[in-house]
Amino acid sequence: MPGKTCWNQENKPFSTSHKRGTTLLALLFLLTFAASDNGLAKDETPKASNDQETESLLRLAQTELSAKRYLNVMIHVDRIISRHPENQTAHYYRALAMHYLHNTAAARAEYVLAATGPNAEVAKRAHAGLAALGGSKPIAVAAKPSPEDAKQSSSTNRNAPEPTSSNSKPTLAVDAPRGTMIMVLSDDATSNELQAVYKDLERAYQGRIRFEKYRFEDSKNKPLLEKYNIEDAPIAVFLNKEGQSVDRMEDFLDCRPTLKEKLNALLN
């Protein structure tokens, strides 16, 4: 398109008359008991809230794993681990995401943390992940918990996906993507055209670049948008193999050559 430009955050003092005897003692006891009860309620409320938030984040992470949106998985579980570093399932989900992103060292470290936790089922699956890493093979994520898990517990820990080794022989091209392109699309008239661009690039760079697609209006993608400072769509963000943002491009519908240049830069 001629002339087209491609564009590369008191307690008040207890006041009472000076009564004596049992009346004063009884009143002091009641005040002390009430203060203790209020303190307990204040302590328990945040704990319950934190537990609910953790469960919600784990469910989101599992959904994103099934949808192969591994960057969102990382964001959800990192929020959990920052507050609850002992959370076994969060480490397991993080290991799965890193495994799919072919960061073997990070995946192995997370699998080890998950394998040494108290939940036997998650530990078993983490050991399976470590075994799968031995051949640097991709792993499959179950979209639903196994029937056995569902019987044992309804908690998210029991719903952890199970890694399995692929029977196909891995190749360097398939097993070692050199970077990731995030495409964030909006609900507008150009969406179908941009979808076509995305599919063409995904086919052209299959095995060499990982592609992830997100909807700008979807509220569950807000943490990812904030992480990569995405304020509008459409936009393409390019990440190196460590997941760091190295480039971005807006208004790329008529700038496919420039888009390919940026993808090729990830391969070098």
Please write the tens of the pLDDT for every residue from 149-189: 333 333 444 455 555 443 333 333 334 578 899 999 888 76
Strands of the 209-215 sheet, one edge to the other:
209-215, 179-185, 235-240, 245-250
| Percent above pLDDT 70 for the chain | 65
Lowest mean pLDDT: which of 17-21, 99-103, 219-223, 232-236? 17-21
- How far apart are alpha carbons 167 and 184 in whole angstroms? 33
Domains of the chain from N-terminus onward: 49-159 (1.25.40), 177-267 (3.40.30.10)
User: pTM of the predicted model, to two decimals?
Assistant: 0.55
Give the 3-state secondary structure of residue 113: helix
Q: What is the CA radius of gyration of the chain?
A: 26
- How far apart are alpha carbons 233 and 251 in whole angstroms? 8
Show the tokens assigned to 252. 């790329």
What's residue 80's pLDDT? 93
Rounded to 10°, the helix 70-83/88-100 angle is: 150
What's residue 148's pLDDT? 36
Q: Judging by DSSP bridges, how do beta strands 209-215 and 179-185 pair with one another?
A: parallel
Does the structure show a pLDDT above 60 at 47? Answer: no
Please give the single-letter amino acid code of residue 111.
Answer: Y
**CA end-to-end distance (rounded Å), the chain:** 28
- How far apart are alpha carbons 102 and 95 in whole angstroms? 10
What's residue 256's pLDDT? 78
What's residue 206's pLDDT? 87
Give the 3-state secondary structure of residue 43: helix
Q: Under a CB-based contact definition with an 8 Å cutoff, are residues 239 and 180 in contact?
A: yes
pLDDT category of residue 43 using cuts at 50, 70 and 90? very low
